[in-house]
Amino acid sequence: MLVLILCGILINCLRTTTSHATSKTYVIGTDVTYPPFEFANQKNRYVGIDIDLMKAIAKQEGFKVKIKPLAFNAAIQALESGQIDGLIAGLTITPARRVKFDFSTPYYKTGTIMAVAKNSKVHSLKQLRGKRVAIKTGTAGATYANSIKHKYGFKTVTFDDSDNMYQDVVTGNSAACFEDQPVMQYSIQQGMKLKIVTQPTENGNYGFAVKRGQNQALLKAFNRGFSTLQHNGQFATIQQRYLGHSQRKRSGQAQKKARGFTALLKQNQHALWHGFQTTMLLTIFGIVCATLFGLIIGLLGVLPNKVTQASSNIVIYFFRGLPLLVLALFIYTGIPSLTGHKISAFVAGILTLTLDEGAYVAAFVRGGIEAVDPGQMEAARSLGVTYGRSLLKVILPQGVRLMVPSFINQFIMTLKDTSILSVIGLLELTQTGKVIIARNLEGFKIWTIIAMIYIAMITLLTWLSNFVQKRLKV
């Protein structure tokens, strides 16, 4: 019955995700850690030049949008696989990207600059020789840095989000970073301890993108709407809202009022609570599905049949060998590319945890059963009990007692592994932290708060495990 309920939930989610393609609601991917173009405000609502522009065009053209927050690199992959209908994320139009995407009329002109720590003596590209430079994966700044690193003799280190890239420079691990000019200016206005030391170079244009040859009606609607907003002055108003001096000053003052741990916790309590709920849902569903999957695969591995044993070995070997991050991206972006059907991030996350954690469960289920004295099976069979009944009624109950510690450890691992699923846009605790940090740039304090939340959850699970083990007298 439980399996049927879970399957029903997954099928319903799949139907929900596929229905977007035929409705007037478009799923638009974005990188919500890229202020002032996209970020979450103090009320945890997604705002910024790109977000406001997309919503204004949707209102102008009579369609609806659902903003999908993703890491920048994951957003590009999601667009390639058809998981999202469009992408607006400070995406620079390049010849390489034109091969896979169709772009709108350029809506913002930008340039790449180099920034260093405030007390740094580096002020030119020539001084980077032999040093390390931080870049953000998939960005125009990263492309520019990689194109000149051999000429100027520096090495690059890649990060998935802007804050970690900035902090690597502030702490002195990297000598500099490359970033789009307006993004860096905004971050400095918010208190980031960096300074710009070069003039903008490699001027490029941001554009809204759809998968090549698809969603052409959406692309045309964007171009029409943008043209209208340009002529009536609404786009200029949107830019002024985030790039105007008075707005940056007010925003900076607001951030200074909430620098303490208590103030940050109070200000972001609703976002953190939502992230906590998502993490717990993923953990609970992941544990249940992984346990069922692991029991089935583990039992197949102990049946006296070479085919089932080989199948069990292959499944365990394959899914234990895949990094969780690779498996998550393959399910979320790879499968839709092959099948043409979308998969929601939540369903992809549950499938990832089921296959990865389930492989480990299967391994210790098989090991626990094999650890039971073989004489137990022989004794049951000598009494005329069938092999299957002997396995379920005699061997498995004894094996479960041996498996309990491993089960509990795997539950804790499942809880921690949910953090990796932030890469596919699930707004669990880790992704929530990234979104908050993009707004206030308080990386150390926010990660400390989130770390304490994880420790509290793991402590509760540990107490529960000790209680269960005592009751079972393991």
Compute the chain's Rg from CA coordinates: 26
Of the ranges 30-39, 54-63, 371-380, the best mean pLDDT one: 54-63
Q: What is the pTM of this model?
A: 0.71
Average the pLDDT over 186-206 and give the result.
Answer: 87
pLDDT band at 191 (very low <50, low <70, confident <90, very high): confident
The reply to whether 267-472 shares the fold of 24-107+207-257 is: no
Q: Which numeric CATH code is attached to 24-107+207-257?
A: 3.40.190.10
Sign of the CA dihedral running 54, 55, 59, 62: positive
Percent of residues, the chain, with pLDDT higher than 70: 86
Average the pLDDT over 274-302 and give the result.
Answer: 90
> Is the pLDDT reported for residue 268 higher than 50?
yes
Classified as helix, coil or strand, 146 is helix
pLDDT band at 371 (very low <50, low <70, confident <90, very high): low
> Is the pLDDT reported for residue 252 higher than 60?
no
Give me the architecture of the 109-204 domain, per CATH.
3-Layer(aba) Sandwich (3.40)
Instruction: Report which residue type is found at 95.
Output: P
Round to whole Å and give the CA distance between 218 and 110: 24
330 contact partners, CB below 8 Å, separation of at least 6: 322
Give pLDDT tens digits for 321-353: 889 989 998 998 888 878 878 888 899 999 999
Q: How far apart are the first and last CA of the chain?
A: 29
Average the pLDDT over 358-372 and give the result.
Answer: 82
Round to whole Å and give the CA distance between 50 and 37: 5
Q: Which residue has the higher pLDDT, 214 or 33?
A: 214
pLDDT band at 17 (very low <50, low <70, confident <90, very high): very low
In degrees, rounded to 5, the angle at the alpha carbon of residue 40 between the alpha carbons of residues 39 and 43 is 160
Give me the architecture of the 267-472 domain, per CATH.
Orthogonal Bundle (1.10)
Residue 156 forms beta bridges with which residues?
A: 133
Domain chopping of the chain, boundaries: 24-107+207-257, 109-204, 267-472
Classified as helix, coil or strand, 170 is helix
Round to whole Å and give the CA distance between 242 and 104: 22
> Is the pLDDT reported for residue 459 higher than 90?
no
Largest CA distance in the chain: 89
SS3 for 184-218 is: HHHHHHCCCCEEECCCCEEEEEECCEEECCCCHHH
